[in-house]
Structure 1
């Protein structure tokens, strides 16, 4: 018979050995990555020894953070939320300032709110260091500095060409320039006296920027300038995103690996660790969707659902009203609330509409000195486009289907970072694989989905995708164009979540006899998704700070 404590001791020894091997692997990977950069990209901006030590130290820090979470946090939901935050930290600093979609506009609004500006004035300016920050880090730098050229033969005929698109490091006239150099440029520019240039953001919102604004106030109190406030805003958004993910995971009683995989997707973390208010939106989407995976809905659950639903509609109005169907498509057996499902749907719908109208009124009533501007000039006209859509509904449906087909349902673009200006092929290829793997990890769970709620969830995914396409077609696309412009994979993350939950439910029925223990699947999913997230952050940093170099003639 085994002595008491013998098995825990053996497990402790095995755990110590495992973490030791992980630390060793981190050091080996750090050395290999630096050597790879020097060979493949010719990176010699930093001496090899300091660079190797720095990369190895960062790799060991990742292992240490993982050990601390595993050692001291026993609750899986809390452990997963901490993993979301820690992996998000990698993206926070791997992604240079202002490179997330519309990040400069979001930063300016958050910064204005941090100064106590709760109204909107298009002629109001900022301090010189804010001007320097935006001048040193132009948004969508990889696209904003793209150069195109043609190549001619001796007779002057065009025989080829190229562009610097998707290259974050460019070489022109023998000089290599990357976003890494722009940190020094910012330090230089913020000391130069000049007339204010940057004016307030076009965004007329306050509510989603309150966490960032508070963090920026604290950053200024301790002496940070505009760049420090910018990173403080990113960290605040990331903290809110991780908190909402924690609430969503606590709700989930099944399909938790799928939720975790979507939360830890590189694209989700890229947005979650930015100044874009979509960090808040994604967290609310995941929290709202989690109510589909609960065992019971009681009165106390409705308040959080209402708050999440109202906040979604306050930040991004109208399209998010579609989420009102979540209570309606829930299985009847899980509904334990005093109110009926249709009553709850009516209440949350009315509240969301009132909040939406109130926010829009506020944005109009407190704005001055703004001019109406068309996004794509005279070719975009929302009224005419809407009229055209209503008169040609079958054609519009085919335009939407064609857009999805041409973009591989956008599942192949989950490695597209920024405003579709940077695609990391490996991340785009592996992201759907990781999502499918997470669905497979859920086959041990007894599916709660019968035909009716499954069709409801599928219908919501289709309607939400159609709503995204319709919104971009009407507001962003020239009238009668046969493609929808401006759609990005990040807009469809909630739809992907719903579809992969359905895949997990289907697999649970098909492979019902192969079910295994749930905790093992949860931890395997967390390990794989976190590793993929960190790897993607390294690839993102490699793009902006290491290479490749594009030669611009």
Structure 2
């Protein structure tokens, strides 16, 4: 009997040591779903039919030619190839007339046109972003320009390169995030997020880097050991690239204060590392936007530029800053007027903001995100200081987006309380911050969390299938 008991106990011990077969991780499922639907979206969307994609492509193409000219491989020119401009003009009708359709044959015919880089024409409708905003796309545009590849073929190749970059960086963010992984996967797999990631838009780099920066800060806040120097370098590097790509997301470096000072060798080092991160971000921004230095070294040029705009170059901004109450009124009026549009643009308003999902899907998706956020389990974000910090950063970014849009409306010489130009996708990078505010330690996590998380991915796939159908239905005859 003793021997039997001994053998039985050994068997139990062996069985306990045998690891159970591992299912696919959440980040692996993200890669599979994101890659599949990302390729579907970018291949189905006709050329230049992502919002403002023609302006972004022109900007990236000009940067690629500047690089090749600096290397002495092509001559300098401030004009674009005629074939590229013709491709933009031949597809413009699709967003000018939302009821118009196209065919795959039309896209293939645009791909047959030789680049002919020597035939040039002036084209001025370009975006104003720095080269950092297009780093993933430039990795392919530069060699393809050197090989004189067709402009539309280059566009699709650059879309694919952007998608791969976004998938890789977001995958790293999901792996690094210690809590609320399902919430980040949900936000990252929204139709609008994937659609923008596989495009020439700057959203590819801003979305992925903002996810990674948030995940890394939350990781450092949760870890038990000291913050190492290499971890600080990662945070500074990601924050610098994100700031240079889109300045309004610079306040995300304030997440540094989620980390306890006890995880640094001294409180002085705690403050110093934050100051160094801010310095690196600002320095990178000034390098990428070197025209910011013009007023310092050439004040006469700055005065001349301001005079050319008239006495009030930014009437909308001046109107809001003249009375602080005007900002609150503007937010209330704009939110009331375009709040539904922002929700649609956050979830999935594809194409040139014209391929829409059914109305009920927008509402259900927002509710599902909220429920997923409430089942996030995190002791860290139940603390009042951390909640106030998240709210403050989200508010600052929202205000920065509004003020940035105000400066872009300087041509409107009639100030208004309705601020146009804001898109719902602008708020995607800090949707995770809002979701973390719902993190709790209640029984809701233990009772229903696993069911809601299990239902999240099937719902996301259902949502993406609907988005793909309505994208195809909008642009092609079925």
Shorter-chain TM-score bucket reads: 0.7 to 0.9
Of 208, 211, 232, the residue aligned with 1:302 is: 232
Secondary structure at 1:407's aligned position in 2?
helix
**Residues 262 and 119 of structure 1: CA distance in aligned 2, closer, same or farther (over 3 Å):** farther
Q: Is the 8 A contact 1:389 1:396 kept in 2?
A: yes
Cα deviation, residue 253, structure 1: 0.8
Instruction: Say how many residue pairs are matched.
Output: 433
Of 388, 403, 409, the residue aligned with 2:334 is: 403
Q: Is the 8 A contact 1:128 1:190 kept in 2?
A: no
**In the alignment, what sits opposite 1:322?**
251
| Whole-angstrom distance in 1 between the partners of 2:396 and 2:89 | 40
Of 344, 347, 367, the residue aligned with 2:276 is: 347
| Whole-angstrom distance in 2 between the partners of 1:221 and 1:537 | 34
**Please, what is the CA RMSD of the aligned residues?**
3.8
**In the alignment, what sits opposite 1:431?**
365
Matches within 5 A, 1:32-43: none
Q: Is the 8 A contact 2:63 2:131 kept in 1?
A: yes
Q: Is the 8 A contact 2:115 2:151 kept in 1?
A: no
Secondary structure at 1:511's aligned position in 2?
helix
- CA deviation vs aligned residue, 1:24-81 (integer Å, no higher than 9, x gap): xxxxxxxxxxxxxxxxxxxxxxxxxxxxxxxxxxxxxxxxxxxxxx99xx44324423
**In the alignment, what sits opposite 2:87?**
133
Cα deviation, residue 217, structure 1: 4.6
Q: Is the 8 A contact 1:268 1:490 kept in 2?
A: yes
In the alignment, structure 1 residue 272 sits paired with structure 2 residue 197 = yes
Residue segments in structure 2 that go unaligned for 5+ positions in a row: 1-7, 12-19, 295-304
**Residues 122 and 432 of structure 1: CA distance in aligned 2, closer, same or farther (over 3 Å):** farther
Secondary structure at 2:289's aligned position in 1?
helix
Q: Which has the higher helix share?
A: 2
- CA deviation vs aligned residue, 1:490-523 (integer Å, no higher than 9, x gap): 11112322212222x04x4362552665xx8656
| Whole-angstrom distance in 2 between the partners of 1:381 and 1:110 | 31
In the alignment, structure 1 residue 543 sits paired with structure 2 residue 461 = no
| Whole-angstrom distance in 2 between the partners of 1:80 and 1:467 | 31
Of 380, 386, 393, the residue aligned with 1:448 is: 380
**In the alignment, what sits opposite 1:182?**
106
Of 470, 475, 481, the residue aligned with 2:408 is: 475
Secondary structure at 1:439's aligned position in 2?
helix
Cα deviation, residue 114, structure 1: 3.7
Cα deviation, residue 381, structure 1: 5.2
**In the alignment, what sits opposite 1:502?**
437
Q: Is the 8 A contact 1:94 1:538 kept in 2?
A: no
Q: Is the 8 A contact 1:233 1:275 kept in 2?
A: yes
**In the alignment, what sits opposite 2:78?**
124
Q: Is the 8 A contact 1:118 1:206 kept in 2?
A: no
**In the alignment, what sits opposite 2:5?**
none
Secondary structure at 2:182's aligned position in 1?
helix
**Residues 382 and 501 of structure 1: CA distance in aligned 2, closer, same or farther (over 3 Å):** farther
**In the alignment, what sits opposite 1:244?**
169
In the alignment, structure 1 residue 357 sits paired with structure 2 residue 286 = yes
- CA deviation vs aligned residue, 1:162-221 (integer Å, no higher than 9, x gap): xxxx4343xxxxxxxx35463255257659999633537453622332332222355568
- CA deviation vs aligned residue, 1:74-94 (integer Å, no higher than 9, x gap): 443244234322221121112
In the alignment, structure 1 residue 255 sits paired with structure 2 residue 186 = no
**In the alignment, what sits opposite 2:96?**
144
In the alignment, structure 1 residue 226 sits paired with structure 2 residue 151 = yes
Q: Is the 8 A contact 1:219 1:229 kept in 2?
A: yes
Q: Is the 8 A contact 2:45 2:471 kept in 1?
A: yes
| Whole-angstrom distance in 1 between the partners of 2:262 and 2:461 | 32
Q: Is the 8 A contact 1:113 1:210 kept in 2?
A: no
**In the alignment, what sits opposite 2:43?**
93
Cα deviation, residue 529, structure 1: 2.1
**Residues 455 and 263 of structure 1: CA distance in aligned 2, closer, same or farther (over 3 Å):** same
What is the TM-score of this pair, normalised by structure 2? 0.78
Of 485, 490, 497, the residue aligned with 2:420 is: 485
- CA deviation vs aligned residue, 1:383-438 (integer Å, no higher than 9, x gap): 43333222211122111122112223622443323554443334534431342343
Q: Is the 8 A contact 2:192 2:350 kept in 1?
A: yes
Residue segments in structure 1 that go unaligned for 5+ positions in a row: 3-10, 13-69, 146-165, 170-177, 366-373, 548-553
